[in-house]
Structure 1
Amino acid sequence: MKELEDILLTTSQIPLAKKTVLNISYTANIIKDSISNTLKPSDISIEQFNVLRILRGQKGKATNLQDIQSRMVSKMSNTTRLVDKLILKGYVERFVCEKNRRKVEIFITSQGLNFLEEIDPLVAGAEANITSPLSQEELKTLNNLLTKLRN
């Protein structure tokens, strides 16, 4: 990774578009590693954490696998497997609808909500640490630019 950083910083021959995409990809990996390391002692992945946050956002209402998948940051995640792992940890419950056996409802448990209360400050600290070199104005600008890239 250090090699890539050196190339990005020292090579002016790389087209700006390529340099930008490489820089964003490199930074995304650093951010993902930092958040993963924060979650690792709690034996939870970023994707599992994301599922829990999605379910918390439902405010007690049921949701299904398709809704969770559509809200995932990483669209490549195997949502069924993630939910299964969270069920084993006691953070999530799954119910099959008696009237329509194909309909599966997923809820966050009180244990899952308590876990999020414990881990949220740690993740917030990691996020603050990651973004600490930037001012509030720079963060706003960066967010606006990244949103613009996605649209």
Structure 2
Amino acid sequence: MKIEKVIKSETKLPLPKRTVLNIMYTQNVQAESFNELLKPYELSPEQFNVLRILRGQKGKPANMCVIQERMVAKTSNTTRLVDKLLLKELVTRKVCSENRRKMDIGITKKGLDLLLELDPKVQEHETGYAKNLNETELEQLNLLLEKYRGE
């Protein structure tokens, strides 16, 4: 459906505005669906992102700076996210042995088990959005989005 129809615009939008609105609308549709996927697990997408980052550390702890720089949403309050994950016993936090001003954050077995349960559901979610495009189109879309961001 054309974005003009979605927002009920009677006039054709200028291409730059149409592009921005299409990206924002698509992101919101995808995010709402992803939120619904995570809702039964009482996880936010940002908390899920922290867990995936920690799993990617392969057993090595990460400090708040490492987590923050790898977050998809850079504006997230990492300390608050980790605090919530601590309460759910999905992560651990302890003082770094090499630098007492830093905290080492690790993922627990419970956190790893939760990700294992979520992995097929997340993959299905991602595949569901990709199904309307072939592999070449997906590659092109990724290249165009990176170019659009100026990267």
TM-score, with structure 1 as normaliser: 0.90
> Which residue of 2 is the match for residue 51 of structure 1?
50
Say what the alpha-carbon RMSD is for the aligned residues: 2.2
Alpha-carbon distance in structure 2 between the residues aligned to 1:60 and 1:7: 45
What is the Cα deviation at residue 5 of structure 1?
5.0
> Which residue of 2 is the match for residue 28 of structure 1?
27
Query: Could you say if the C-alpha distance between residues 38 and 3 of structure 1 is closer, same or farther in structure 2, counting changes exceeding 3 Å?
Result: same
Query: Could you say if the C-alpha distance between residues 97 and 57 of structure 1 is closer, same or farther in structure 2, counting changes exceeding 3 Å?
Result: same
Query: Could you say if the C-alpha distance between residues 53 and 22 of structure 1 is closer, same or farther in structure 2, counting changes exceeding 3 Å?
Result: same
Which structure 2 segments of 5+ residues have no match?
Answer: none
Listed as ranges, the matches of 1:64-103 within 5 Å are 64-97=63-96, 100-103=99-102
Higher relative contact order (CA 8 A, sep 6+): 1
Describe the superposition over 1:21-70 as per-residue Cα deviations: whole angstroms up to 9, x where unpaired.
Answer: 11001000111111111111111110000000001111111111111011
Alpha-carbon distance in structure 2 between the residues aligned to 1:96 and 1:39: 30
What is the Cα deviation at residue 13 of structure 1?
3.2
Identity %: 53
SS of 1:145's equivalent? helix
Query: Could you say if the C-alpha distance between residues 32 and 149 of structure 1 is closer, same or farther in structure 2, counting changes exceeding 3 Å?
Result: same
Q: Which moved more, 1:10-19 or 1:32-41?
A: 10-19
Which letter maps to 1:107?
Answer: G
What is the total number of aligned residue pairs between the two structures? 150
Which letter maps to 1:114?
Answer: D
Residues 89, 110 of structure 2: 8 Å contact kept: yes
Query: Could you say if the C-alpha distance between residues 32 and 146 of structure 1 is closer, same or farther in structure 2, counting changes exceeding 3 Å?
Result: same
Q: Which moved more, 1:140-149 or 1:21-30?
A: 140-149
Alpha-carbon distance in structure 1 between the residues aligned to 2:8 and 2:125: 25
Question: Which of the pair is proportionally richer in helix?
Answer: 1
Which structure 1 segments of 5+ residues have no match?
Answer: none
Alpha-carbon distance in structure 2 between the residues aligned to 1:3 and 1:143: 20
Q: Which moved more, 1:53-62 or 1:8-17?
A: 8-17
Q: Which moved more, 1:55-64 or 1:124-133?
A: 124-133
Residues 91, 109 of structure 1: 8 Å contact kept: yes
TM-score, with structure 2 as normaliser: 0.90
